[in-house]
Amino acid sequence: MSKLILDATVLRKLLEFKQPVEVCDQGGHVVGHFFPRLDPADWDLEPEISEAEIERRSRSNEPTYTTAEVLAHLEKL
């Protein structure tokens, strides 16, 4: 694979992105795509549900469904 060394200005701009970016020339024509290297430390990967809620649900008598059952139900809609 070839390498392209970026000047500080372009590098600084690209490092601001956390999502893929279209790289365009001055005319707006796409010349490529930039996919930033993701650092898991930049993301909040904690569940949005508390331990107490997980415990409450595990003791609940509410019905539960497998993934297959949910998908089968959605297919009927």
Q: What is the pLDDT of residue 42?
A: 78
> In the block, which residue shows the tokens 């019905």?
63
What's the confidence (pLDDT) of residue 63? 93
Q: Are strands 30-34 and 21-24 parallel, antiparallel or unpaired?
A: antiparallel
- Take residue 76 and report the two structure tokens written for it: 């009927």
pLDDT at 7: 95
Q: Does pTM top 0.75 for this prediction?
A: no
Q: Could you tell me if 70 and 57 are in contact, meaning their C-beta atoms sit under 8 angstroms apart?
A: no
The predicted-structure confidence for 6-64, as pLDDT tens digits, reads as follows 999 999 999 999 899 999 999 999 999 999 988 888 788 888 899 999 999 999 999 99
> Residue 43's pLDDT is what?
80
What is the C-alpha to C-alpha distance for residues 72 and 68, in angstroms, rounded to an integer?
Answer: 6
